[in-house]
Amino acid sequence: MKDYENYRIKLNDPRWKLLRQKILKRDNNECKVCQSNKNLNVHHRAYIMFKKYQVYLDPWKYPNNIYITLCENCHEKGHNHFKVPIKYI
């Protein structure tokens, strides 16, 4: 639970908020699955963890191709059907 809480805190960081806006703009402010423009999330297609330290990379430090814009509905459906892969470095 602690990891989730830390992640939620990081999503309030100005660096994430700035990147989030950049990704939304790149994706034309619409869900890349259903083209909705309501309740948009920026989703990580994978997570990166530093294996030695068991620490995830900060959410704003990923390559841009890892992010995708999804509406809340498609985002939730995706998480219910697929596990987000973790890449260890």
Report mean pLDDT in 10-residue bins for the chain, 89 residues.
74 96 98 98 94 92 96 94 88
Collapsed DSSP state (helix, strand, coil) of residue 21: helix
pTM greater than the 0.85 cutoff: yes
Predicted local confidence at residue 2, as pLDDT: 59
- DSSP letter, residue 31: -
Q: How far apart are CA 6 and CA 14, in angstroms?
A: 15
Other C-beta atoms closer than 10 Å to the C-beta of 38 total 10
User: How crowded is residue 75: how many other Cβ atoms within 10 Å of its Cβ?
Assistant: 19
Cα 47-51-18 angle, rounded to 5 deg? 35
